[in-house]
Chains A and B, each alone.
Chain A
C-alpha cells in the first residue's frame, strides 16, 4: 500500500486549474492554424486569428483565455493499492478554492437552482471516481464552460435508429447550437450504457488527445464521418459561416440494455482546457 499525500493532491489541482486557464493546448493551436488556411471568407479567418492572438495574450499570464473559467470536473482514478488519511474530495475542492483565488479565475458556481447565491470559491467541483489496478492516483481535470455545456444533451434512441440515427441526432444538435457554444467546437459523444452513463462517456471523451481515434473500427469510422459531416454544415467559427465548425469528434461507448441506444452529446468550445495529473 502506498500513502498519497492529500496536501499534494490539493497542490496539483491548484496548479492545474491555473495552468489550463492561461495556456491553450498547443495541439489545439496547431489545428486552428491549419483551419485558417482552409477558410475562404475573411470574416471566418478573422475570428480564428482572434482566437490565436487571444491565447498569446493569455499565455503572458495576466488575463485568462476566457472569462468563463468554468466548473471544475475531475475524473478521479484511484489505484487500489493506495490509501490516504482524510477526505480526498475535500482536498480536491481545496485545490479548486486556492487555484481560483490565486489564479484570478472567475467564481461561476451558485449554490441553488433558484436562490442562485454564488459560493464565492468556485466549489464544489464535480468529481467522478473509479477504482483501478495499481498504486497511483490519476486526476483528469477540466474547467468546463457553461456556454458549450448548455448546448449539450442526452437522448434515448431505439436500437433500430442505428448509426444513421446517431448521425442525424448529432448533426441536428450542432445546427441548433449554431454559434452559441463558441465554434470551432470539439464534439464529445457517449453511446451506450444508460441515461447517466452515456453523459459520463461523452464528458470523458473530451479528455482524450485531439489526434487520437477510437480503437474500435466502427466507432473510429463514425468519428471520421461525423467530423466531415459536421464541418460540411457550414456553421463556421462563432456561427458566422465557414469551413471550420468542429476541430475533432470523440466517441466513447459502453454495453447497454437490449432495448436501448442512449446517446449523449457534450459540446466543448474552442477553449478546451484540460490536463492530466498522476501522483
Chain B
C-alpha cells in the first residue's frame, strides 16, 4: 500500500501503478457535474488546483457531532470532458468509480494525473475517514457544492496510471 499526503507531486504520480491500494491523508476537494461546469469557468477558485485531489461525491447531510454524512464516489465518466481543463491547471488525482473514456485516459496521461477508484456504495465506511468538512464554493448546489475535506487514510485503488494501465482491463473482456 502507498501512503500519499496532499498536495500531490509529479514524483507521487510516477510511483503509482494500476491495482495498487492507496491511502490518502490531507486536504481534498469534492466536485460533481454542476460544480465542474462552474469551476472550469472560474479564474480564481478558492483552492489551489495545482497538486490537488478532487473526489467525485455528493454526501448526505451530517448529523450533529459528525463532520459529514455518507460519502461514497459517484460515476466518473460524467466528468470525463470536464476534467480536462482542470488537469491542465494542475489537478493531479481524481477519485470516483467506474471506467472512463479513452479520450479521458489520453488527456490524463498527457497531464501527468492519475485516476483512483474508491469502493462504490461504501458511503458509511468512507465517511469514517473524513475528519472535517466545509463548503468553500457554490453553496446553492447543496450536496453538489465544493467541500474542503480533511481526510486520514482515505482508501482508494489506482484505476488508471500514467503508463497506460487500467484496472478494468480483463483477459475475457470482449466488450
Contacts and interface: CB of A to CB of B under 8 A. Distances in A.
Given A104-B69, A180-B97, A65 B124 contact: yes
9 contacts: A54-B121, A58-B123, A63-B70, A106-B58, A108-B58, A108-B143, A180-B97, A182-B120, A234-B171
Nearest to A270: B121
- Most B C-beta atoms less than 10 A away, residue of A53, A66, A150, A232: A66
Contact of B60 (A46, A106, A180, A235): A106
Contacts of B127: 63
A57 B173 contact: no
A108 B121 CA distance: 16
- Most A C-beta atoms less than 10 A away, residue of B123, B143, B168: B123
A68 B173 contact: no
Nearest to B34: A116
Interface of B: 19, 21, 34, 57-63, 66, 69-72, 74-75, 77, 97-99, 117, 119-125, 127-128, 142-143, 155, 157, 167-168, 170-175
B59 to A, nearest CB: 5
Contact of A233 (B21, B75, B77, B172): B172
Interface of A, secondary structure class, is: loop
Given A51-B121, A104-B62, A64 B70 contact: yes
Interface in A80-108: 104-108
Contacts of A47: 119
Interface stretch (A134-142, A170-178, A208-216, A259-267): A170-178
Given A57-B124, A179-B117, A67 B72 contact: yes
B140 to A, nearest CB: 9
Interface residues of A, number: 47
B169 to A, nearest CB: 8
A147 B71 CA distance: 14
Contacts of B77: 180
A238 interface: yes
A104 B60 contact: yes
A104 B121 contact: no
Nearest to B76: A180
Contacts of A234: 170-173
A7 B133 CA distance: 37
A138 to B, nearest CB: 28
Given A47-B119, A67-B72, A240 B157 contact: yes
Given A43-B157, A172-B175, A233-B172, A64 B63 contact: no
A69 B63 CA distance: 15
B123 A66 contact: yes
- Most B C-beta atoms less than 10 A away, residue of A62, A63, A118, A236: A63
B67 to A, nearest CB: 11
B120 A64 contact: no
Nearest to A175: B175
Given A54-B125, A57-B124, A67 B174 contact: no
A236 B170 CA distance: 10
A65 B121 contact: yes
